[in-house]
Structure 1
Amino acid sequence: MKEAGSKTAGDKPGSIEWDPWDPWHIRKETGQHQLTSVEFTVTQLCNLRCEHCAVGEMLVAEEGVSIPVERLIHRLDEVDTLQTLSITGGEPVLSPRVVKETIRPLLRYARSRGIRTQLNSNLTLPLSRYEGWVEDLDVLHISYNYRDAADFHRIAFEKYGRDVTPKAAEALFDRMLDNARALSSAGVFVSAETLLSPFTSPHIGQMHRDVAAMGCRRHEVHPLYPSDFAKGMNLVTLDTFREAILTLVEERDPSVWILFGTLPFYPCSDRIEDRELWLRLHQEENITVRQDPDGRNRLNVNVFNGDVIVTDFGDVPPLGNIETDSLPVIFDRWLGHPLAKKYHCFCPEARCTGPNILVADTYYSGWNFRERRAKIRL
């Protein structure tokens, strides 16, 4: 097994040995969950309306007024344990004003504190929009759920509300590929995420090869979250999910780091094939399983109304507001929440901190995770 190491200043975006977004490390070292990661939703604008979008219903045509970045930074100053900062939307790069007034100051602040950063972008905007600030970013996270431009046209504009020509969609798709290659060649750590669905799972091998061809250093694979726009989409069965993972492991480019997030298989499973998969993914080179950050080490802040939630696409109501509460106080409030107590189990012998709430509700609604124990050791 690849045992987790302690963090070092040399671990810029993270590594196989230490992924700073993974709550496992702090839970193992301190015996409790701590707030080490904050995510800001900095825009509700986007030039796409993807069918799988987990925040699609929050997107707007005109942006509201955001909380001054100085106020956001003040709240970050109160988090002594902070290790990572994520920026999401919408499409964060769509508005030059958001980039200038919110994103760049947050990245500079994080750099001054030695905090690692990630920004989620669809990467379809002109390359020039990323220049002048991307060098301060540790991870540029993109979505890749397409085989070709025709797929992109259907998926990215499924909920758009008006017709978009195939030619216009193809231009954006090609720009995304070109931007990924250019930024990767320039030394940017690009991490592409694929959501396993009935559509993507049969093609995961080819999609992985596309990710590698773009120069991405990491390929993240997650379940399709049944939230927001994706609520009506079909989900893969656990058997299909397992088969897709095994196909990807066999066909992967060994130079690309594969990260499985919110994996819907657990070491306490009654099924031997699930336990064997857990073991294999922890033994393969250049593959990691990230424990769920949401509610274990991360909170999400909406910069327009100040609301703080466990995740940017969950159904748990806001836990507080940065206008009245500090983030550590809100995080402690969450740790006392009935849902946290229900799902915050811990099996150190198997390197597991329990399930993602949405995944557990989808696939394991009858399970009491707090009463189960790992049946394997790493």
Structure 2
Amino acid sequence: MLKRQPVEKKPISPAWDPWDAWYTRSEKSFYELTSVEFTVTNLCNLRCEHCAVGEALVEKEGSPLPVDQLIRRLDEVETLQTLSITGGEPVLHPRVVNETIRPLLRYAKERGIYTQLNSNLTLPLSRYEDWIEDLDVLHISYNYRDAHDFYRIAFQKYGKEVSLSAAETLFERMKENARTLSKNGVFVSAESLLSPFTAQHIVKMHRDIAEMGCRRHEVHPLYPSDFAKGMTLLTLDEYRSTILRLLDGRDPNVWILFGTLPFFPCSDKQEDLDLWLRLHREENVTVRQDPDGRNRLNINAFTGDVIVTDFGDVPPLGNMMHDRLTEIFHRWLEHPVAKKHHCFCREAHCAGPNILVSHAYYRDWDFTTRKAKAEVRV
């Protein structure tokens, strides 16, 4: 491992979201690799109906690549700022925690890199306590009103019988874990995927997230991938009205981050432009420019395959066993799919669409030929 002087990290806030692709693109006029995500397991104790990686989940899996190999590739990326860890449920298997997660977090901490781990937070609190201090963001999913919703959603695709009481135990543990960790200073960020079901109850879900002590509420579209492919998506009109209800009913002390937002400042509809401007004027509300393929790559820690996102349909771009990550990233920037979606409007504070959102809602649009009709001052 190369010896570097750690960079002092600014606190994560609405004014500084190090995963956002906007900063590098606006400052340097090009994209560079600042973020890497590792898929460290395909095991999970849940099978959520909306899971965008559900078809990759397994009952048993082999050994991951040695963590030293992962770190050597990270060491080659001089521009690295953030490291994300996802699955499956990364914390499910103690071996993954001890042999992969903890060394990666220690490496990132020594180098001054921001870290995030995605967990369903349903495991006993002791499974998190001995490494959580090295983590910057604990990312959880929250798409439920109560234990009955959790039972239906989390075990929809499970394939074997699970009792309601068992589901209730996991649901209550998740909420209590979030409260305890938040009280102890952990930055817990809860994500909700907007679907025809969650849209009806999003204000209540937001209030529950605030009660759990989460500092941030991330709101994303339902991604039509894997388990979620057959689910009904919100129309854009439904999505817009849901956002407006959430803005009107939100807890102003909780940061709301809209990720992969399916509205753009080059829209032909005035209501879309009005929404875009409101989102950029509201206190404690941000719109994150999509990191996937703009400043981030995902690495499968078992095969070494490198892809644009952990739930996209673009085939692997290379393999970390024989390719440098920066070479793979530049290869992606020349890919026709990247060129189709990598538009940029500085005045409108927009770096274009997420690929899945584009395919779901804007198949007929060529974003590279459109012009922004709204100007944002940030």
**TM-score under structure 1 normalisation?**
0.97
Q: Distance in 1 between matches of 2:217 and 2:340?
A: 30
For 1:3, the equivalent position in structure 2 comes to: none
Alignment of 1:227-246 (within 5 A): 227-246=225-244
1:278-302 residue CA offsets vs partner (Å, 9 max, x unmatched) = 0000000000000000000000000
1:289-346 residue CA offsets vs partner (Å, 9 max, x unmatched) = 0000000000000000000000000000000000010100000000000000000000
**Quick one: which amino acid aligns to residue 360 of structure 1?**
S
Identical-residue share of aligned pairs (%): 72
Alignment of 1:260-339 (within 5 A): 260-339=258-337
SS in structure 2 of the partner of residue 140 of structure 1 = strand
> How far apart are residue 132 of structure 1 and its match?
1.0
**Quick one: which amino acid aligns to residue 175 of structure 1?**
R
**Quick one: which amino acid aligns to residue 11 of structure 1?**
K
For 2:147, the equivalent position in structure 1 comes to: 149
> How far apart are residue 131 of structure 1 and its match?
1.0
For residue 52 of structure 2, the aligned residue among 51, 54, 68 is 54
Alignment of 1:46-125 (within 5 A): 46-125=44-123
**Quick one: which amino acid aligns to residue 142 of structure 1?**
I
For 1:212, the equivalent position in structure 2 comes to: 210
> How far apart are residue 11 of structure 1 and its match?
1.8
Q: Distance in 2 between matches of 1:333 and 1:233?
A: 33
Counting matched residue pairs gives 370
> How far apart are residue 266 of structure 1 and its match?
0.1
> How far apart are residue 18 of structure 1 and its match?
1.4
1:45 maps onto 2:43 in alignment: yes
**Quick one: which amino acid aligns to residue 91 of structure 2?**
V
For 1:347, the equivalent position in structure 2 comes to: 345
Q: Distance in 2 between matches of 1:45 and 1:367?
A: 38
SS in structure 2 of the partner of residue 206 of structure 1 = helix
Partners of 2:49 and 2:153 within 8 A in 1: yes
Over aligned residue pairs, what C-alpha RMSD do you find?
Answer: 0.7
Q: Distance in 2 between matches of 1:46 and 1:203?
A: 26
1:56-81 residue CA offsets vs partner (Å, 9 max, x unmatched) = 01011112111000000000000000
Alignment of 1:159-178 (within 5 A): 159-178=157-176
> How far apart are residue 110 of structure 1 and its match?
0.3
> How far apart are residue 141 of structure 1 and its match?
0.1
Q: Distance in 1 between matches of 2:343 and 2:248?
A: 31
Q: Distance in 2 between matches of 1:376 and 1:234?
A: 30
Q: Distance in 2 between matches of 1:23 and 1:258?
A: 18
1:36 maps onto 2:11 in alignment: no
Q: Distance in 1 between matches of 2:140 and 2:65?
A: 26
**Quick one: which amino acid aligns to residue 315 of structure 2?**
P
**Quick one: which amino acid aligns to residue 374 of structure 2?**
I
Q: Distance in 2 between matches of 1:198 and 1:329?
A: 41
**TM-score under structure 2 normalisation?**
0.97
**Quick one: which amino acid aligns to residue 335 of structure 2?**
H
Q: Distance in 1 between matches of 2:176 and 2:14?
A: 27
Partners of 2:40 and 2:90 within 8 A in 1: yes
**Quick one: which amino acid aligns to residue 366 of structure 1?**
D
> How far apart are residue 9 of structure 1 and its match?
2.9
Q: Distance in 1 between matches of 2:359 and 2:61?
A: 33
SS in structure 2 of the partner of residue 86 of structure 1 = strand
For residue 132 of structure 2, the aligned residue among 116, 134, 144 is 134
Q: Distance in 2 between matches of 1:33 and 1:247?
A: 34
For 1:11, the equivalent position in structure 2 comes to: 10
**Quick one: which amino acid aligns to residue 149 of structure 2?**
D
> How far apart are residue 10 of structure 1 and its match?
4.4
> How far apart are residue 102 of structure 1 and its match?
0.3
1:87-139 residue CA offsets vs partner (Å, 9 max, x unmatched) = 00000000111000000000000001100000000000000000110000000
For 1:181, the equivalent position in structure 2 comes to: 179
Q: Distance in 1 between matches of 2:164 and 2:182?
A: 27
SS in structure 2 of the partner of residue 350 of structure 1 = coil
Q: Distance in 2 between matches of 1:63 and 1:104?
A: 20
Q: Distance in 2 between matches of 1:337 and 1:50?
A: 32
Structure 1: stretches of 5+ with no match in the other structure: 1-7
1:208-251 residue CA offsets vs partner (Å, 9 max, x unmatched) = 00000000000000000000000000000000100010000000
Q: Distance in 2 between matches of 1:348 and 1:308?
A: 29
Partners of 2:9 and 2:112 within 8 A in 1: no
1:9-47 residue CA offsets vs partner (Å, 9 max, x unmatched) = 3423x2111110000000000000110000000001000
SS in structure 2 of the partner of residue 246 of structure 1 = helix
**Quick one: which amino acid aligns to residue 136 of structure 1?**
D
SS in structure 1 of the partner of residue 172 of structure 2 = helix
